[in-house]
Amino acid sequence: MEIMSAAFWAALGSIIVANILLSGDNAVVIALAARSLPPHQQKKAIFWGSAAAIVMRIVLTLIAVKMLSLPYLKIVGGLLLVYIGVTLLLEEDDEEDDGKHASTGMMAAIRTILVADLVMSLDNVLAVAAAAKGDTVLLVVGLGVSIPLIIFGSTMLLKVMERFPIIITLGAALLGFLAGEMLLTDPAVTAWYGAELPHSTVNVAGAVGALAVVGIGLALQRRSRAAKEREQASAQRA
């Protein structure tokens, strides 16, 4: 496809729009992963996490059709999303400001962004691949242009989270919902059932996943708080 042709620019626009529309959940997890970092490291984590996720998504898009046909892949991905959702919902331990801990925290945030983006992009990349029509250059350019837009969305969402903490819980619930959907749309489940499950059933599974992530996360939060209170009480008695 010629770069100066109208078809190229139309396809490029389709890729950018599709990637923005399908990256709302990715922006949530990027903001969730970066929220516990010091302010000066949040922007770095969002930038490098988003950039690395886009590069990974390019590779994933090229092999997405074959990957999505593999049984149990979505089941594993769904379980990973449950784990990530619960982890992001947990309150952070007391943070230390030294460079070593800050660096470790940023790398952990980037790792979380990459894993979550990998899992959540399994379905999304199909739309991008369809828009690219097999043109690798078009695919790379389109996803590359999307980077600043995703970074902007994640940064804005991070600021909203600071003002309205309930969004953190809603974000974790979103990951749980996606996990529930993935579990019931795996090819292995479809083969066992004999056909694709009704959309309403998949939605129920998503709701159950959302409740499970929030429930487990809140239970672990209470357990962590109780342990900290016991430690403080013990220290005071000593």
Per-residue pLDDT reduced to its tens digit, 18-73: 666 556 667 777 888 888 788 888 888 888 888 887 777 777 767 765 666 678 87
160 is written with which tokens?
């909203």
Helix 166-184, helix 136-163: angle, nearest 10: 140
Residue with tokens 């460079």: 99
pTM: 0.68
39 is written with which tokens?
């302010």
Residue 212 has pLDDT above 90, yes or no: yes
